[in-house]
Amino acid sequence: MNFKKTFKNLINKPSCPYIVLAFFLLLIIISVYLFYAVSISRQRIVQLEQRIVELEQELYFYKALPTPNIPTEEIFQPGQVGEIEVDPAVPQPEEELGAIIFDTRGIVQEVHRDRVIVLGDGTNFEDRQPRQITLLFTLETNLFLVDRTHYIGLRGLEQLSPGMQLTITANENIRGRTEFTARDINISEF
């Protein structure tokens, strides 16, 4: 009974409507805060789930990249493109192409997600004919800009555009090869 009496006294006081109003305002503010907090957390969860999917796709892509670890016996084997058949009756040029070549030059034609198509100058082919060369990028490929800025892996692809002149170095013998993994790429000029 004491509670009923206290409640009646509280309601009959002139400040009672203000207390009730303050209570309802506080209740509304807390409700709005909780609504937005839950809403924002749901949006954040959706964003994080989307980011996880993107990272899984990126990881799948990185796993699909060629590895720079080439068996030792294949490193020094030349390709067959541009080789000239030797005829003992025909005089050979005085300047021969080395048996092992690790670098060449070319002009960027196309930039893809994990590779660059370059018009090579022919220095890695015995017949010295310019050819399209596909440079495969790995996570260890280095790209050096003219201002000595350095990019590693696929970040370097973002810096390349058609028309750029490149100097390319590989970890393998690129003589007679039109596709190989690039180790270092230097942009010669824009």
Question: Rounded distance, CA 24 to CA 70, Å?
Answer: 73
Average confidence score pLDDT of the chain: 79
Question: Rounded distance, CA 172 to CA 186, Å?
Answer: 17
- Which residues touch 158 (CB under 8 Å, ≥6 apart)? 151
Fill in the amino acid letter for 107: I
164 in any annotated domain: yes
Residues 53 and 117 reside in one and the same domain: no
Residues 115 and 48 reside in one and the same domain: no
Owning domain of residue 165: 72-82+100-189
| Per-residue pLDDT tens over the stretch 84-127 | 555 555 555 556 667 788 899 999 999 998 899 999 998 888 88
Torsional class of 40: left (φ above 0), alpha (ψ -120 to 50), beta (otherwise)? alpha
Q: Which helix (H) or strand (E) holds 32?
A: helix 16-64
Percentage of the chain exceeding pLDDT 70? 70
Q: Is the pLDDT of residue 76 over 60?
A: no
Residues 169 and 129 reside in one and the same domain: yes
Q: Which DSSP symbol is given to 149?
A: -
Place of tokens 């809403």: 39
What CATH number did the domain enclosing 115 receive?
2.40.50.320
Residues 34 and 76 reside in one and the same domain: no
Number of domains in the chain: 2
